[in-house]
A = this chain, B = another copy of it.
Amino acid sequence: MRSRRPSAIEVARLAGVSQSAVSRAFTPGASISPATRAKVMSAAEQIGYMPNAIARSMITRRTNIIGVVLGNLEYQFYQQALRVLSLRLQEAGRQVLLFTVPPGGDLDALLPQVLQYQVDGVIIGAATLSSDMAAECERRGTPVVLFNRTVPGVPAHSVTSDNYGGARLVATLLVRAGHRRFGFIAGHRDTSTGINRERGFYEGLTALGIDAAAQVVRMDGRYSYDGAREAVLQLLSDGPRPDAIFGANDMMAMGAIDAAREAGLRVPDDLSVIGFDDTPQSAWTAYALTTLRQPIEELVEATVDLILGLHEQPSNRRTIVEVPVLFVERGSARLPRPEEAVAIAGGARSDAAPVPEPAAKPARKAERRRSRGRKVA
């Protein structure tokens, strides 16, 4: 058996050309005659040559690797996001170097590792980035895009969905449908996502004259099914019952639905429940969860465009992309009559009956309305 990894020199020798000819043969659009290229290719094939991407990146100063740092890979949303991200980056000819912030771990400790691999850019969908590390990345000329989060005071580019607007829309729709007492299941206080959803919900209620402080019970669902289920079970067992619950993500909303049923309540007749994300499970008939869809495809597309664009042409202007969310009506919440709802949501078309229905094909049948979305440059 031959030596393990043939180099361009060996190919060159075999093909009877110079080593740079080999390099050119593998460079699309390089100045080389078809005859030479053919010779090279056949020699390469013969000995199983394959260019060394690492060596190439040393001199081109680009690795075509994008670092992706995630901290919440236990959440469906991030799992889906990673799937799409990986697909899109690959289509763009880039590779994904994946880093996971371990539970209790530190993003700032991880980032130097990422940078050592000379990545062409970093996409961060994890905990908070310190402004020190952001500055370090900028100094090195490595573009950074925050995915699904913003960090106050850190001048990094970011892509998020309109968490505030979506949550505010939920508040409006619930009030218009006659709900008066609410439960809000919060995730973590220290994520921009969670904060904005909470703010949107409370401000939406307040804007319609609801005394949020008195009428909303805030629960901590720790972003988990179990956490939410237990909190809601507790809530329903003592004191006056809410007539609607808004979960800061779908998993928690589903925990709320199960809790409600365990407590003998019917959803949505006795209790309306709305979630956030539109994970695949929301469409399952056991839940038929009315929710806000985070448009993963669009979020990812924006993220990829940003990071690749920044590598080509660095910019010190901070870009913030905010993508509108979509209201997906299934069966878990009582809502205003369609005409009114449409007026509330700002005129998007509604093409479904208002009756709850099993949602096998929610994408086609359900009523949807877009939140405002904006792009801030």
Binding site for B on A (CB under 8 A): 1-2, 4-5, 48, 50-55, 57-58, 63, 65, 68, 73-74, 76, 79, 82-83, 86-87, 90-91, 95-100, 102, 112-113, 115-118, 136, 139-141, 225-226, 229-230, 254-255, 257-258, 261-262, 280-281, 284-287, 358, 360
Known A95-B117, A96-B98; judge A86-B63 contact (CB<8 A): no
Name A50's contact: one of B74, B86, B116, B360 (CB within 8 Å).
B116
4 nearest CB pairs, A to B: A73-B83, A79-B79, A53-B116, A286-B286
Q: How far is the CA of A65 from the CA of B140 in the complex (A)?
A: 22
Provide the residues of chain B in CB contact with A79, threshold 8 Å: 73, 76, 79, 83
Q: How far is the CA of A112 from the CA of B48 in the complex (A)?
A: 11
**A118 & B52 in contact (Cβ 8 Å cutoff):** yes
Known A97-B97, A285-B258; judge A102-B74 contact (CB<8 A): no
**B141 & A5 in contact (Cβ 8 Å cutoff):** yes
Known A53-B117, A116-B51, A140-B4; judge A284-B254 contact (CB<8 A): yes
A135 to chain B, nearest CB (A): 10
Question: 5 pairs across A/B with beta carbons < 8 Å?
Answer: A68-B98, A73-B83, A82-B82, A229-B360, A254-B284
A66 to chain B, nearest CB (A): 10
Q: How far is the CA of A72 from the CA of B41 in the complex (A)?
A: 34
Name A139's contact: one of B4, B96, B116, B257 (CB within 8 Å).
B4
Provide the residues of chain B in CB contact with A258, threshold 8 Å: 284-286
Name A54's contact: one of B68, B117, B225 (CB within 8 Å).
B117
**A50 & B284 in contact (Cβ 8 Å cutoff):** no
Q: How far is the CA of A53 from the CA of B63 in the complex (A)?
A: 12
Q: How far is the CA of A87 from the CA of B102 in the complex (A)?
A: 7
Provide the residues of chain B in CB contact with A65, threshold 8 Å: 97, 117
**A73 & B95 in contact (Cβ 8 Å cutoff):** no
Provide the residues of chain B in CB contact with A57, threshold 8 Å: 54
Provide the residues of chain B in CB contact with A91, threshold 8 Å: 102
Known A4-B139, A116-B51, A287-B286; judge A82-B73 contact (CB<8 A): yes
**A358 & B95 in contact (Cβ 8 Å cutoff):** no
